[in-house]
Amino acid sequence: MRQVDEKVLVSTNRIGEPIAFLWRDSNYRVRTKPVRWFARRDWWIDASRVQRGVGAGVLEVEMWRMVASEAEEPDTAKKAQFDIVHTVGDSPAEKNIWRLVKIYD
């Protein structure tokens, strides 16, 4: 398992599931149905405010776990498992932010 923390560009399908992503100039295709889950953040380390009504986003993050390989490779090539964090940003230009955090080779 490798820990990284890099921004990736993700394309999603109609219901919001990632189907492909661009990482370090390579295109990856998601090969099986990705799994969504929710992880937490240690807000007491980095949050500036946690007032009533601030929202669960301070505490919770959406995670996607997917099996993918480089798009050019055939379906039978060696695949890896990727964990990508999905957050919703403030600016309209960059609404969805995706960060790759873990790779299980």
Amino acid identity of 29? R
Site string for other proteins, 77-96 (x = CB under 8 A): --------------------
**3 makes contact with other proteins (CB under 8 A):** no
Token pair listed for 74? 């055939």
Site string for other proteins, 39-58 (x = CB under 8 A): xx-xxxx-xxxxxxxxxx-x
**38 makes contact with other proteins (CB under 8 A):** yes
CA distance 93 to 91: 5
Give every CB contact of residue 10 below 8 A, 6+ residues apart in sequence: 18, 20, 21, 22, 84, 86, 96, 98
> Which residues contribute to the site for other proteins (CB under 8 A)?
35-40, 42-45, 47-56, 58-60, 63, 65
